[in-house]
Structure 1
Amino acid sequence: MSRRILVLAHTGRQAAMAAAQEACTQLHTSGLIPVMRRKDLEDIQSVYGVLTAPTEILDEDVALDGVDLGMVLGGDGTILRAAELVRDTNVPLLGVNLGHVGFLAESERADLAQTVHWVVERAYTVEERMTIDVKVWFENQLIAHTWALNEAAIEKADRQRMLEVVVEVDARPISSFGCDGVVLATPTGSTAYSFSAGGPVVWPEVEALLIAPISAHALFSRPLVVAPASILAVEVLTRTDAAGVLWCDGRRSVELPPGARVEVTRSAIPVRLARTHSTPFSERLVRKFQLPTQGWRGPVGSPGDLSDSVEISRHTADSGGPA
């Protein structure tokens, strides 16, 4: 039985439509069945007409649980939309970056043909990325329940007024202050909004939750890294009538009146990302941010050489020579 590959693209951009057409054609030629959403397929057909590769339509010809993998053609925003689509399934996502930084993507546009080949050959592994569960309470009532892969960001609703909040970890207050907002993030989100707010970069393998205040007026407003089992909360204080707004991954929003409380915990449902490379995160970080590494010499020799040099230094010191 032929495998079905969901192709998701930002079809509002010509480059994304060209990449989607190329991917679908190569998948079809290789014996796999490309699948697209009706709107995306119609956008491509309007450009390529009869040249459009034979493609099934999601939720009409095949359900999401009948898809083997999702190829996402676009930037991180497109991948976040795709994560929302496959949220309740086991479908992994493989991103091909057509945007700028593209931290969530696995490959670049120039590698598209090779990436499709890896998909055909099943030459990829799947890793699970932590997500967060987000609840909003107001007057002891649960008014919203959502999730995020990158972050839950509490921001001031009025740009002319400061938001007054108190931050809590595991049912204990940490500090209250006026600010532009607070970012509650996952390790995956440490290179997104949290990074812009001055938060630390956390390797994806680390299990933790992050808190990063945004422009806080306080003596203590440092970013915090806490245990993955912790319960984080931010309360919008009522000492002013300044309201806030919650944004999850920049896609789902909830208004936060004074007195609202946002609670964040680790979610039991991860996002599954397909990986075709075993590239260390440090290398990805350097490449994506174009960090300078001139002058780096690397580890000193092999472990054997290192132990030999340590032994020589110890012998010299014991014999009274220069240590």
Structure 2
Amino acid sequence: MRNKLVVTLTTVRGSKQYTLNQVARVLVPAFLLMAVLSFFISNALLVKTSDDLAVLAEDHQALSDQYESILGTQQLYVSELNELSSTLETLQEENLRMGELNATLDASLGGLESMLGLPASDTYTPQRAEALKATAAQRLFLLHSIPNGVPIQGTRISDRFGMRTHPVTRKKDMHNGIDFAASRGTPVYATADGIVEFSGRQSGFGKLVILQHNFGFKTYYAHLDKLSVKAGELVAKGDLIAHSGNSGRSTGPHLHYEVRRLYSAIDPAPFLNWNIASFDTIFSEVGTVEWGR
């Protein structure tokens, strides 16, 4: 029995014995040893695998963080590109607006040249703009200083400057002004800046307003109904000075209008159509005034 291994199995039915030889007695411990070694080796491998998995998880997290960082950077680039695109569009719109503004300015300067009766320029410079501005200012000064335009609106001329048969005396005499047929009470306006020399009643003229202007010019407004200014008052071109009527030596309601210079009567007709566009015409049409001086 010394060289045999006896294995006894006990059940509810009883016990049985089994005998193994010496080889079997060596293999079983070897198997058990292998099983123990396998268990420890497996545990060691499992621990190592767990460590590797933890490292992989950390690498995965790091890659995820890098991806999110790259994605955020890309989104930042996209946002900056959108902003840049918006800025470019704004610059294009501003450039277009400036182009339109320059075109408008050129058109305005061209219109100013046309209004002043000057030849058109190919290009406009600040110096040209200043020259046009100075020319316009000079002309406007003279047009406010010297009588021009009509003193009463919406009426017809009933009698002109020159020799005529007087409608009351029936005698030939000089008519020193222009008569505008107008209903009583029609507004009468100053044709230039000036000062009121006279405002009242005068024989033949009836109610009369006389205005003194620059460069020795005067204007007379006669046969008025209502006077709106007094002697010594300053008036500007276009100011209301009176209303038309039928006072004095008159056969019907009208305005008698005269332009005088140094007490000499001048035909008012050329002054009625004188404006900034036809500025140079007055110098040739009215030869009795020494314009050069």
TM-score by length of 1: 0.22
Structure number with higher strand proportion? 1
TM-score by length of 2: 0.24
Query: Which structure is larger by alpha-carbon Rg, 1 or 2?
Result: 2
Structure number with higher helix proportion? 2
